[in-house]
Amino acid sequence: MQTSMLSIARDLRSSIDALAADAEGSDLSQEIVDLLVAADLFGVMSPKEVGGSELPVNELLDVFAEVARADGAAGWCLMAGASTVAYFGAYAEEPVVSQLFSNGVPLAAGQFAPNGIGTPDGDGYRINGNYQFGSGMSYADWVGAGFLVLPEEGSDAPATYLFGIVPRDAVDVKGNWNVLGLINTASYDYVMSEVYVPKEGTFLFAAPTRRRGGPIFEVGVIGLTALGHTGFALGVVRRALDELRAIAKTKARMGAGIALKDSERFLYSLGTLESRFQSATAWVRRAFSELERDVHASGKVNPTLCNVVRQATVHITQEGADIVREAYLLAGTTGLRDGALQRCFRDIHAGSQHFFASPASTLDYARDLMAATPDAGVDA
């Protein structure tokens, strides 16, 4: 029987956990990268036509969560790299795609935000820009970058928003990742100066054309990127709650006289935190499943369902950050010290600052709710 990608990811958990603990405060260890590459995990999202696994959405969530459960930084780098290459595998043109995937699924990093300007140059563009959050830059072979192509002078047309990919050695990496959490992601700033990218190595960010892969790629970059952030949050929060239960078996708070596991106050808090996590988990799984079913049935994306998955992602991330904070407080000084729970605390709070955990999605979701609301509270 064929081994599932989730089983493969799960088998790596203890190795990734040990390597992450040893390398805390540095770039993601090459040993972890090698494990993920050998297991073909960077290809879980890429179209099958380019050698990827193209897993269904809930299987993707499971794989991303499993690696993030072992280590938040490893999970973050996996979801960032796997999604970036999947987009180019699905949306970019030949011959760039053949070059990218000539030796298997490549390692990529980069920022989607349009922080550069692309000037037309023959059959491509010259990009100039300053970028941030290049997660995985320490080991990536390719770097993605969002950029704007401005309209001709005097035109009322809007700027064109493209996403392009270039070799890693074409960018200047600044190496200035000094942060509270997700330290090992090496999410460095980088600069592109007159970097050439062929048109075939770009796609329209907001409305890409699906050239390969199944209907799920009709969802586009925003909806599919939410998938990775959800998996990250699921894994980190799951690990934090697991660590709290392990700590509670033997820990007694000063003056309590009993272990946490025997304290009804602690047990009530633990049950409440687990319930909150399970509730948020159920919503994101249902939301992504509905989006997947709809796009497979219709062949096109439903913007309302996209807004639902974006808001479910915001919810699991922000709710997860609060759950982990409560777990950290319940663990007392054990959570203060170096260890998995402290790492979860720092990593989920770093992830909660990302655009995909921002209120922008909440506003779009609420506007959809209002648009669908009848004049009376009960729609007859």
Domain boundaries, the chain: 5-100, 108-204, 215-371
What token pair was written down for 172? 């200047």
Mean pLDDT of 192-211: 97
> What confidence score (pLDDT) does residue 291 get?
98
Spatial contact of 236 and 68, defined as CB atoms under 8 Å apart? yes
Q: What is the pLDDT confidence band of residue 1, given thresholds at 50, 70 and 90?
A: very low
> What confidence score (pLDDT) does residue 23 get?
78
Q: Which residue has the tokens 């392990």?
A: 246
Mean pLDDT of 27-49: 97
Q: Please write the tens of the pLDDT for every residue from 82-132.
A: 999 999 999 999 999 999 999 999 999 999 999 999 999 999 999 999 999
- The CA distance from 171 to 193, in Å, is 7
Q: Pairing relation of β-strands 108-121 and 142-149?
A: parallel
The predicted model scores a pTM of 0.96
Q: Please write the tens of the pLDDT for every residue from 325-363.
A: 999 999 999 999 999 999 999 999 999 999 999 999 999
> What confidence score (pLDDT) does residue 245 get?
97
Mean pLDDT of 192-215: 97
- The CA distance from 145 to 166, in Å, is 8
- Among residues 125, 87, 134, 91, the alpha carbon closest in space to that of 106 is found at 87
Can you name the residues that pair with 197 across neighbouring β-strands? Answer: 125
Mean pLDDT of 135-154: 95
Q: Considering the domain delimited by 5-100, tell me its CATH architecture.
A: Orthogonal Bundle (1.10)
Inform me whether the pLDDT recorded for 256 exceeds 90: no
Inform me whether the pLDDT recorded for 380 exceeds 70: no
- The CA distance from 308 to 288, in Å, is 9
Mean pLDDT of 168-187: 94
Can you name the residues that pair with 202 across neighbouring β-strands? Answer: 164
Inform me whether the pLDDT recorded for 154 exceeds 90: no
Inform me whether the pLDDT recorded for 153 exceeds 90: no
**Which helix (DSSP H) or strand (DSSP E) does residue 333 occupy?**
helix 333-336
Q: Please report, as a single letter, which amino acid is at residue 205.
A: F
Q: Which CATH superfamily is domain 215-371 in?
A: Butyryl-CoA Dehydrogenase, subunit A, domain 3 (1.20.140.10)
Q: Which residue has the tokens 């807004």?
A: 307
Inform me whether the pLDDT recorded for 37 exceeds 50: yes
What share of the chain has pLDDT > 90, as a percent? 91
What token pair was written down for 113? 């935000």
Residue 146: CB partners within 8 Å, gap ≥ 6? 111, 112, 113, 114, 115, 116, 161, 162, 163, 205
Sheet of strand 108-121: strand arrangement: 172-173, 188-198, 124-134, 108-121, 142-149, 160-167, 202-204
Inform me whether the pLDDT recorded for 252 exceeds 90: no
Please check whether the two domains, 108-204 and 215-371, share a CATH topology.
no
Per the prediction, the chain carries an average pLDDT of 95
> What confidence score (pLDDT) does residue 257 get?
79
- The CA distance from 280 to 324, in Å, is 14
> What confidence score (pLDDT) does residue 29 get?
94
Report the CATH fold assignment for 108-204.
Butyryl-CoA Dehydrogenase, subunit A; domain 2 (2.40.110)
DSSP sequence for 176-239: ----SS-GGG--EEEEEEEEEEEGGGEEESSSPPP-SS-GGGGGHHHHHHHHHHHHHHHHHHHH
